[in-house]
Amino acid sequence: MTNSREIASLILSNVYQGKKLDWALNTNKNLAKLDSRDRSFVSLLVLTALRRQGQIDKIISSFIKKPLKKNSQVNYILKIALAQIMFMDTPDYSSVNTAVEISKKYNLEKLVNGVLRNILREKNTINIDSTELNIPNWLRKSTIDNLGKEKLSLISKQIVKEPSIDIKIKKEIFQKLKWEEILKGKNIFQETIRIDYKSDISKLPFYSEGHWWIQGLSATFPVILINHIYKNHKKDEISILDVGASPGGKSFQLIESGFKLQSIEISNVRVKKLLKNLNRLKYETKIINDDFITHEMDEKFDCILIDAPCSASGLIQKKPEMLVIKKNINDLKLKQKLMLEKASKLLKDGGYLIYCVCSIISSEGNEQIKSFLKNFKNFSLFNCFSPIESFGVVNDDLPYFFTTPDLSSEHGGIDGFFIACLKKNY
Ligand SMILES: C[S@@+](CC[C@H](N)C(=O)[O-])C[C@H]1O[C@@H](n2cnc3c(N)ncnc32)[C@H](O)[C@@H]1O
């Protein structure tokens, strides 16, 4: 029988070897055999080991003289044990005993026993406040350059916390039911209810009826802004192209608002996901399954929303696997640039281009926009952020908007996000 902690260490090794956390959790057969409480425990073990990876590595390296082989399973057994000993409420003896038991398979039980017992002896003197250690170098440098050291520290304190889940209720249904009571959550803005929930989302009330979808608060902002821009227009006369549409949150908002929408998405797999979501919500949109950059279109649009592929560094609290996988963002930056250029051609004169990324890295956000503006003099930035400005920062000279994970702490944080609204001048 495979033990929860053993399963956790195997899943952790999958993630370190580049597998997506969701994939590693969903495809582990032993995990599927556990009851829901144990499954949640495994998930928490892995998430804690990832969120605290820098701190855990520092502790391990100061207690092991000779470094372990990089992909030795014992690395992951130790990381899972340390996640519990230093950062969770599990009893120390059970964390240590199981780690020793599991490492017998690798003939390294003496080492594991020795290291963990030495750590236990000094547990109370080990500093566990240095959360900056968990931010990997590739992100640390760009965060400091863009936002400063103090911000890095605030972000690092936020991302070790369990994130909440944001649920976007359909506009037309929001007023009809008492959603805070139904979902046991808090209405943090417009139709978004924030909940603390660790189990299967599809078991929540009104999932199969399609009354809501999952969408982080900051990801709802671009369409809130589009609604603000077109508040005095007939929505069904405004043509919008949603670029990079799956899993669909922004398309769903545009549909419920009544815009004339087309959605383009490059990935076949993700188009299937989008269709499944549309089907559950009983919504429809015209979907183009193609590469936006090369796709030929005769039509021009009043508004184009680019939710560009990016580092997803703004989602670091929800996706802590990015802390251990080195990202190469050069390809993404090129794609973002080409998407902006393509959109410039497909936009009507006087139209609006909304560019957003769930990133806190400036080269994907404000720098990308600055270089676009240098080459496309017929575009200008404009400030339409009044409906959302209390949630983030509106830049002064060049108006763009961003959030960072440490903001909106009164609600328990917010995903990092960048939005620029550009107008194509006549
Ligand atoms: C940040 S996600 C979009 C999230 C989505 N807008 C939502 O609100 O649910 C970016 C999406 O862009 C898609 N994508 C990447 N490159 C693309 C391209 N060249 N053309 C169209 N879609 C692309 C990705 O497959 C991914 O689904």
Q: In 148-243, where does DSSP find H-type helix? A: 149-158, 171-174, 179-183, 217-229
Q: Determine the residue type at 20.
A: K
**Both structure tokens of 336:** 């973002």
1: pLDDT strictly greater than 70: no
- pLDDT for the residue numbered 186: 97
Quick check: CB of 248 below 6 Å from ligand 1?
A: yes
Mutate to test the pocket of ligand 1, among 243, 255, 417 (most ligand atoms within 8 A of CB): 243
Task: Report CA(262)–ligand 1 centroid distance (Å).
Answer: 14
Q: Can you tell me the mean pLDDT for 393-408? A: 95
Mutate to test the pocket of ligand 1, among 221, 265, 292 (most ligand atoms within 8 A of CB): 265
Quick check: CB of 309 below 6 Å from ligand 1?
A: yes
Quick check: CB of 244 below 6 Å from ligand 1?
A: yes
Lowest-confidence segment of 89-93, 294-298, 324-328, 350-354 by average pLDDT:
324-328
- pLDDT for the residue numbered 190: 98
Query: Do the beta carbons of residue 130 and residue 55 sit within 8 Å?
Result: yes
| Average per-residue pLDDT for the chain | 95
Q: Can you tell me the mean pLDDT for 197-213? A: 94
Which is it for strands 192-195 and 239-243: parallel, antiparallel or unpaired?
Answer: unpaired
d(CA 5, CA 239): 52
Atom 24, ligand 1: which residue's CA is nearest?
Answer: 244
- Give residue-wise pLDDT tens across range 52-103: 999 999 999 999 988 788 778 999 999 999 999 999 999 999 999 999 999 9
Q: Can you tell me the mean pLDDT for 15-22? A: 93
Q: Can you tell me the mean pLDDT for 222-232? A: 98
Q: Can you tell me the mean pLDDT for 243-260? A: 98
336: pLDDT strictly greater than 90: yes
Which pTM was predicted? 0.94
Task: Report CA(356)–ligand 1 centroid distance (Å).
Answer: 11
242: pLDDT strictly greater than 60: yes
Which are the contacts of 178, defined by CB distance < 8 A and separation ≥ 6? none
Quick check: CB of 273 below 6 Å from ligand 1?
A: no
Of 332, 322, 9, 272, residue with least CA distance to 138? 322
Of 357, 356, 351, residue with least CA distance to 239? 351
Mutate to test the pocket of ligand 1, among 264, 291, 295, 307 (most ligand atoms within 8 A of CB): 307
Q: What ligand 1 atom has the least distance to the C-alpha of 242?
A: 6
Residue indicated by tokens 């802590």: 320
Mutate to test the pocket of ligand 1, among 224, 266, 292 (most ligand atoms within 8 A of CB): 266
198: pLDDT strictly greater than 90: no
Quick check: CB of 274 below 6 Å from ligand 1?
A: no
- pLDDT for the residue numbered 59: 95
Task: Report CA(310)–ligand 1 centroid distance (Å).
Answer: 9
d(CA 53, CA 135): 9
Quick check: CB of 364 below 6 Å from ligand 1?
A: no
Quick check: CB of 250 below 6 Å from ligand 1?
A: yes
Q: Can you tell me the mean pLDDT for 345-359? A: 98
Residue indicated by tokens 């496309």: 376
Atom 13, ligand 1: which residue's CA is nearest?
Answer: 244
Task: Report CA(403)–ligand 1 centroid distance (Å).
Answer: 20
- For the chain, list the domains and their CATH numbers: 4-128 (1.10.940.10), 215-424 (3.40.50.150)
pLDDT band at 2 (very low <50, low <70, confident <90, very high): low
**Both structure tokens of 409:** 């702490």
Quick check: CB of 72 below 6 Å from ligand 1?
A: no
- pLDDT for the residue numbered 128: 83
Query: Do the beta carbons of residue 314 and residue 391 sit within 8 Å?
Result: no
pLDDT band at 200 (very low <50, low <70, confident <90, very high): confident
Task: Report CA(201)–ligand 1 centroid distance (Å).
Answer: 23
310: pLDDT strictly greater than 90: yes
- pLDDT for the residue numbered 390: 95
- pLDDT for the residue numbered 363: 95
Atom 25, ligand 1: which residue's CA is nearest?
Answer: 267
- pLDDT for the residue numbered 418: 98
- pLDDT for the residue numbered 328: 81
Q: Can you tell me the mean pLDDT for 356-384? A: 96
Of 138, 121, 115, 141, residue with least CA distance to 56? 115
- pLDDT for the residue numbered 397: 87
Task: Report CA(158)–ligand 1 centroid distance (Å).
Answer: 27
- Give residue-wise pLDDT tens across range 106-133: 999 999 999 999 999 999 999 888 999 9
Q: Name the E strands within 98-217.
A: 165-169, 186-189, 192-195, 212-214
Residue indicated by tokens 């590595």: 57
Q: What ligand 1 atom has the least distance to the C-alpha of 294?
A: 19
What percentage of the chain has pLDDT greater than the value 90?
A: 91
Contacts by 85-91, CB closer than 8 A, 24 or more apart: 85/116, 85/119, 85/120, 85/123, 86/52, 86/55, 86/56, 86/59, 86/123, 86/126, 86/128, 87/48, 87/52, 87/128, 87/160, 88/44, 88/45, 88/48
- pLDDT for the residue numbered 46: 97
Which are the contacts of 110, defined by CB distance < 8 A and separation ≥ 6? none
